[in-house]
Amino acid sequence: MRRGALAALVAMLALCTPQRSVAAPPPSGAAVEAALAYARAVGSGAYDTAYAMLTAPMQRYFGSPRNYASVFVAERFSGTGQKAVRVEQAKGAHIVTVRETIAFLNHGTQQLGHGQLTLRYRVVREGNAYRVDDEGHPYRSYVPAGDVAVSRKGAKVIVRELAFYPRRIELALTFENEGNAFITFLPYGRTLLRDGSNVYHPLDTRNWLLTDRQLFLGLRLAPNARYTGQIDFLTPGRLDERAHTYELTVAPALPEGADQPIEFVLPAIAVPAR
């Protein structure tokens, strides 16, 4: 066989031979290590350590390590097996994507849920260290110590959590139908949140990230059914750190066959000072 033909055959065989794919090395570098260290601190409940890794603007946002910790404690959050899967360059920052296995509180069932979470952290250099931006959280969360709930005519409303943002308070609420007939909740009708002389109204928007679509359009519950969602109340700004007592009225609700709508006046919710 001629040398040229032999070379062509070898080349053809090489093309036909399956090639083993070589896995790309995981992202590395100081920014990646900072993001992983932060995620591991949060996941293990080392909140003081995690707070110290935040950028200065994020520390100002939360206000204190106690506020910061309350956000994750309220959700019973934990995480393990953190891995960096991608790093990108941005203006003055690295965007590090981290994947982990998490546990969290399902407010509807009041049981722990489990899953995979992928987050993008913005990592910047402040002085001699890399710091992490962890946005999208409330600056403080509060879970009532007791059962803040009220039942009327076979229906029940339960307050699960209050999450505080700079211009809104988000309440996680469970609606239950313990009766024998359908009931329709229309909480965007006359629902109010009072804080002394201040009255806060539901944030009425069709941005479904801020407004619970089901509650906005009307929630019709069958007997023995329940639904957990949230209502955001618009505030003039960030609330101070003093103790506050909130009074929630949820209305109206329309039991099937009833002559009049009903309302739910919840027990006072005492949120301590920070």
The domain that contains 242 carries what CATH number?
2.60.40.1630
Are residues 261 and 149 part of one domain? yes
At 36 the pLDDT is 98
At 146 the pLDDT is 84
* Positions of the chain with pLDDT under 50: 1-17
Maximum Cα–Cα distance for the chain, whole Å?
Answer: 100
At 258 the pLDDT is 87
- Where residue 41 falls (left for φ over 0; alpha for ψ -120 to 50; beta otherwise) is alpha
What lies within 8 Å, CB to CB, of 115 at 6+ separation is 101, 102, 104
Are residues 267 and 148 part of one domain? yes
Query: Considering the entire predicted model, what is its pTM?
Result: 0.88
Domain end: 137, 162, 178, which one? 137
CA angle at 180 for the pair 174 and 146, rounded to the nearest 5°? 30
Are residues 162 and 54 part of one domain? no
Are residues 146 and 114 part of one domain? no
CA distance linking residue 46 with residue 147, whole number of Å: 28
In terms of residue numbers, what domain contains 170?
A: 142-271
Are residues 257 and 177 part of one domain? yes
At 12 the pLDDT is 41
- Where residue 48 falls (left for φ over 0; alpha for ψ -120 to 50; beta otherwise) is alpha
Are residues 159 and 110 part of one domain? no
With CA atoms as reference, report the closest residue to 250 among 236, 235, 227, 231: 231
Spatial contact of 253 and 263, defined as CB atoms under 8 Å apart: yes
Q: Is residue 9 part of a domain?
A: no
Spatial contact of 219 and 176, defined as CB atoms under 8 Å apart: no
Q: Is residue 170 part of a domain?
A: yes
Structural domains in the chain (count): 2
Domain end: 137, 156, 177, which one? 137
Are residues 218 and 115 part of one domain? no
Are residues 166 and 110 part of one domain? no
Residue 116, domain CATH: 3.10.450.100
Residue 119 three-state SS = strand
At 7 the pLDDT is 39
Domain end: 88, 122, 137, which one? 137
Are residues 246 and 215 part of one domain? yes
Instruction: Report how far Cα 26 is from the mean position of its chain's Cα atoms.
Output: 28
